[in-house]
Chains A and B, each alone.
Chain A
Amino acid sequence: MAGTDSDQDRLNQRAARDYSPAAPEPEPARPPGKPPGQMLREGREAAGWSIDDLSAETMIQPHILDGLEADNYAQLGQPVFVRGYYRKCARMLGLSEEAISQAYSQASGVSPDARPQVTADVTMKTSNALQTELLRYAPTAALVVLVVAIIFIWQQFAGGPDENASPSSGNDATAGVERLDTDDQTPEPPGGNPKLSAGGSPVNPNRPGARVDTAGSIAAGRRSGEATAQPAEPAANAAAPPVVEEEAPLLRLAFSERSWVKIRDANGRALLNGIMDAETERVIDEGEPPFSVVLGYAPGVDIFFRGRSVSMARYTNSDNTARLTVGEDGTP
Chain B
Amino acid sequence: MRGLFVNDLSIDLGTANTLIYARDHGIVLNEPSVVAVRTDARGGKRIEAVGHEAKRMLGRTPSHITTIRPMKDGVIADFTVTQKMLQHFIKKVHKKRLLRPITRVLVCVPYGSTQVERRAIKESATNAGARRVYLVDEPVAAAIGAGIPVGEARGSMVLDIGGGTSEVAVISLNGIVYAESARIGGDRFDEAIVNYVRRQYNMLIGDTTAESIKHEIGTAFAGAEVKEIEVVGRHLSAGVPRSFTLNSNEVLDALQEPLSGIVGAVKTALEATPPELGSDVAERGIVLTGGGALLQNLDKLISEETGLPVIIADDPLTCVARGGGILLEMIDRRSGNSFVLD
Contact = CB atoms under 8 A, between A and B. Distances in A.
Contact of B314 (A83, A130, A133): A83
Task: Specify which of A59, A61, A77 lies most central, judged by the most chain B CB atoms within 10 Å of its CB.
Answer: A59
Contact of A129 (B6, B189, B214, B317): B6
A18 B2 contact: no
Interface in A61-114: 61, 64, 77-81, 83-85, 87-88, 101, 112, 114
A60 interface: yes
Task: Specify which of A2, A64, A79, A124 lies most central, judged by the most chain B CB atoms within 10 Å of its CB.
Answer: A2
Interface size of B as a range: 35 or more
Interface in A1-20: 1-4, 7-8, 11-12, 14-15, 17-19
Contacts of B333: 119, 122, 124-127
A126 B326 CA distance: 15
A18 B317 contact: no
Interface in B136-190: 144, 146-152, 161-163, 174, 185-187, 189
Contacts of A60: 285, 309
Interface string A118-154: 1111101111111011000000000000000000000
Interface in B81-109: 102, 104
Contacts of A79: 147
Contact of B161 (A1, A15, A87): A1
Interface in B4-21: 5-6, 8, 16-17
A19 B22 contact: yes
Contact of B147 (A61, A78, A126): A78
A79 to B, nearest CB: 6
A2 B314 contact: no
A80 B313 contact: yes
Which 9 residue pairs are nearest across A and B when measured between Cβ atoms?
A1-B186, A84-B311, A18-B26, A1-B291, A80-B147, A116-B147, A122-B335, A4-B215, A2-B16
Interface of A: 1-4, 7-8, 11-12, 14-15, 17-19, 21, 58-61, 64, 77-81, 83-85, 87-88, 101, 112, 114-122, 124-130, 132-133
7 contacts: A1-B161, A1-B295, A18-B26, A59-B303, A84-B311, A122-B151, A130-B6
